[in-house]
Amino acid sequence: MSGRNGGAGAGRGKRPTGRGTAKQPQDKTRARQGAGPDTKPGGKQARNPVAKAEQPAARPASPKTASPRPGARKAEKAAAQTVLQTGIQMLHVTGDEADMRLDRFLTARFPQVAFTHLQRIVRTGQLRVDGKRMKPNDRLQAGQNVRIPPLKQQETVPRSAARNTDDRAFLESITLYEDKDVLVINKPAGLAVQGGSGTTRHVDGLLDCMRDKAGQKPRLVHRLDKETAGCLVIAKTRFAASVMAKSFRSRTTRKVYWAICAGVPRVRQGRISTYLARMADADGESRMVVAEHGDKGADHALTYYAVVDQSAQKLSWLSLKPVTGRTHQLRVHTADIGHPIIGDDKYFNIENWDLPGGIQNRLHLLARRIVIAHPRTGRPLDVSAPLPPHMQQTFNLLGLDTERYDPIIEAPEE
């Protein structure tokens, strides 16, 4: 690998002898579980039949050994209802909620309250943790006390059985892997992960159709931009959410993205290391910019990249491995080295550049592959997503082969 301003990196290696997605787990679920991080990506994508969830191990029938979990969940729901009815109340962070993000803690405790309202009480300082203001992404510790102000319960029409059926069918159609703890979907480009102003259909809302008897639904453990397609990991249990969130935070999760960029980097394999900060542009729109160390709100961002193939000097197919997970990191980093991702209406910064004919003006960025330790077994869960339709059209037009060897596997992990 070369530095950001270094010389040429390693050249293309030989193609691997085998296919590069994941090995099939013994229980015949859809993704390949057990392939280590050295498994090489690339290769034809298997069809996506609906996977059967792993059968849970048999439990003793004796009521004397029954788990106290249902009672604890009922108590949590009762506490949530009490807050809605009486106003201000203090909630105690339990042991299994330790290390949970504040926003996820709130959505788990108050599924009947609009997410935007929960964000507002945090942002305005009405919510306090041990008497202090917090941010939505701050982590909670066992034993902390959370002051909840009066909440406004959203007035929504109960979900119909038909809507639940339709949403479940849609999720199954885009599912790449599923067992009793984990769900990995192939998020389509244009589908938001969470709701916001004017956004009514999103992944988090679709997950309502998967609520269990206790009212708990699967939890998001990371995010993708609305226009980015590909692998999105979802925890189906609180236990899985806690374990996988730690994997993302400790940077042991391996992610590979594919992008079509303007021009061809002179250094074919390299490292992009900058600081990124959020700012408002002249129109008041929020965006991420390259900043200096020590600037207010600046966080370090690190990305490795490799040129997989190119179309003359006009376009390049880049494979990207983000080590950190900053907002819009890959989009800002590719633009910073002079090769922005085509179709990016926020960060494309080359003037008088025309998109080649036949290519759709949509963001050409795919969360191609993710490797994460399974929360229950600890074995690597390795899942790959196919190209979205608009990128498949571009690959066909440019004659790019998805089975081509991807040199990003040679990039360091940190």
On whether both 169 and 137 belong to a single domain, the answer is: no
Q: Look at residue 65 and tell me if it is in a domain.
A: no
Q: Look at residue 39 and tell me if it is in a domain.
A: no
Over residues 179-183, mean pLDDT: 96
Measure Cα distances from 344 to 13, 27, 296 in Å.
30, 40, 26
Domain boundary at 232, 249, 266, which?
A: 249
On whether both 328 and 388 belong to a single domain, the answer is: yes
Confidence tier at 35 by pLDDT (50, 70, 90): very low
Over residues 236-257, mean pLDDT: 91
Distance CA 14, CA 95 (A): 49
Helices 115-123 and 102-109, interaxial angle, to 10°? 130
In this structure, the strands spanning 365-373 and 380-384 are: antiparallel
Nearest to 297 by CA among 282, 281, 276, 280: 276
Q: Which two tokens stand for residue 13?
A: 């290696």
On whether both 232 and 280 belong to a single domain, the answer is: no
Q: What pLDDT score does 161 carry?
A: 79
What would the pLDDT profile of 185-207 be if each residue is shown by its tens digit? 999 999 999 877 677 889 998 99
Q: What pLDDT score does 42 carry?
A: 42
On whether both 406 and 259 belong to a single domain, the answer is: yes
What would the pLDDT profile of 360-371 be if each residue is shown by its tens digit? 999 999 999 999
On whether both 94 and 229 belong to a single domain, the answer is: no
CA 210 to chain centre: 19
Over residues 155-167, mean pLDDT: 73
**Residue 136, domain extent:** 74-148
Q: Look at residue 201 and tell me if it is in a domain.
A: yes
Per the structure, the count of domains in the chain is 3
On whether both 101 and 183 belong to a single domain, the answer is: no
Q: What pLDDT score does 50 carry?
A: 39
3-class DSSP assignment, residue 288 = strand
Distance CA 107, CA 113 (A): 8
What would the pLDDT profile of 355-399 be if each residue is shown by its tens digit? 999 999 999 999 999 999 999 999 999 999 999 999 999 999 999
pLDDT, averaged across the chain: 82
Residue that the structure tokens 């869960």 belong to: 381
Distance CA 158, CA 50 (A): 27
Distance CA 222, CA 248 (A): 8
Q: Look at residue 79 and tell me if it is in a domain.
A: yes
State yes or no: pLDDT of 43 exceeds 50.
no
Bridge partners (DSSP) listed for residue 271: 304
- Which CATH number characterizes residue 397's domain? 3.30.2350.10
Residue that the structure tokens 């907002």 belong to: 327
Distance CA 330, CA 55 (A): 39
Contact 232, 187 (CB under 8 A): yes
Alpha carbons within 13 A on the beta-carbon side of 257 = 28
As annotated, the active-site residues are: 225
Contact 217, 206 (CB under 8 A): no
Alpha carbons within 13 A on the beta-carbon side of 401 = 5
Q: Look at residue 17 and tell me if it is in a domain.
A: no
On whether both 104 and 138 belong to a single domain, the answer is: yes
- Which CATH number characterizes residue 81's domain? 3.10.290.10
3-class DSSP assignment, residue 321 = strand
